[in-house]
Homo-oligomer: A and B are copies of this chain.
């Protein structure tokens, strides 16, 4: 294994340059205009796997974007690790806030700037380079390896559950390994044992059947923008708690032990706030900022629009107003339940003079993983060897719905060993990934495979 670790260090420059090729492909899965780019990214990965000597590597078509599957079976007696990741990326908007074009990777010191650098192309690519390090140095692979890399993670992973169901045998494994989460902080390793789920909806209120002159109708026609604002305002109380009836019914609250563990983390809420330009965090009453951001359910407006939004003053009484709303969920809330509760809230409160249109955009389940399994121990030990300190067990505030699917459909636990940082600005302009963490990730994966193979 030492040879593999050294190989990865020696070939870092080459690895980075290959990763940049992948980052240049604008594989925005939510935007139909980028359909071919998404296919190109899948094909790029397949051809890279083949270049590493994989006999089984293909881009499998779905009703949506293709799923890349690759496999290297060495010995049925060895455990099998299924690596999951995604090669699609978030839309780059708002474009004008990027310092360099999102799909032209730029290196500045330790950082590589590009959409997808950290989420998740860079982290997926670490897994390809870790196995390359074994293969090119003639080091025996300590596990059987399968890779399933999808192209719809940023678009609700719509076709993934169906694919998993239809391919149970092909995907059979002992554990799932995912790098799509973050370190707790620079140089502070962590393993994520909890993830939040998601319920994402779009709501439109329509009043008059066209935009009206506010001088003719203002004062006699209820305004959809004002009405929508009122409905949104009613979603929270003054304690920053969600007021939708039954919203918290199924929430598993933090245990005293978990709160103690989270409280012991080297976390400075004031600094975290400063990093994003606000002077303090604002959290549901009774919880710390870290708890609020990782272990409590939320409701946020993701976007709002209606009426005249151009330059200057147009005196229009808008015909309609729309909002995208998403909730981060925690076990045992379900996206179906919460989506339905949001729908009922809007149905109940839509003014009688307006029509409500409600779209369920997507959802996913939250998850909590047993921290005491052999795979979790191997991950802990691998990262401790790389970072010189035991990783913290943390909860992640984001959603990787497929982790719940792996449990439900394949009976598999997932090890979330991620190397991002909050400062990577994923989903924001100027997303980046650190070259140091790219290397630490490869080293950790090489070690994990060895430790888990022997466990």
Q: Which residues of A contact B (CB under 8 A)?
A: 30-32, 90-91, 93-94, 97, 155-156, 182, 196, 198, 200, 207-223, 225-226, 228-230, 232-236, 240, 269, 272-273, 276-284, 289-290, 292-294, 296-318, 321-324, 326, 328, 351-354, 361-362, 396-399, 422, 425-430
Contacts and interface: CB of A to CB of B under 8 A. Distances in A.
A317 B328 CA distance: 12
A427 B276 CA distance: 40
A348 to B, nearest CB: 15
B314 A302 contact: yes
Nearest to A217: B293
9 contacts: A30-B313, A90-B314, A200-B313, A209-B276, A212-B427, A214-B326, A220-B282, A302-B316, A304-B304
A303 B318 contact: yes
Nearest to A213: B427
Given A301-B229, A312-B30, A399 B307 contact: no
Contacts of A232: 225-226, 229-230, 233
Given A31-B312, A222-B278, A309-B324, 13 more contacts: A155-B312, A198-B315, A218-B300, A218-B397, A219-B284, A219-B292, A219-B328, A223-B300, A225-B323, A281-B353, A304-B306, A312-B361, A316-B427
Contact of A31 (B196, B311, B425, B428): B311
A429 B30 contact: no
Given A226-B232, A282-B351, A318-B302, A396 B200 contact: no
Given A216-B293, A233-B233, A211 B94 contact: yes
A313 B28 CA distance: 12
Contact of A309 (B225, B305, B397): B305
Contacts of A278: 207-209, 221-222, 353-354
A406 to B, nearest CB: 18
A93 to B, nearest CB: 7
A281 B221 contact: yes
Contacts of A212: 276, 427-428
User: Which label, helix, strand, loop or mixed, suits the secondary structure of the A interface?
Assistant: loop
Contacts of A233: 226, 229-230, 232-234
Contacts of A308: 91, 93, 302-303, 324
Contacts of A316: 302-303, 427-428
Contacts of A234: 233
Nearest to A208: B276
A310 B362 CA distance: 15
A326 to B, nearest CB: 6
Contacts of A228: 229
Q: Which of A284, A315, A318 has the most CB of B within 10 A?
A: A315
A262 to B, nearest CB: 13
A314 B215 contact: no
Nearest to A206: B277
Contacts of A328: 214-215, 218-219
Contacts of A317: 300, 302
A353 B229 contact: no
Contacts of A283: 219-220
Given A215-B396, A427-B212, A220 B293 contact: yes
A296 B219 contact: yes
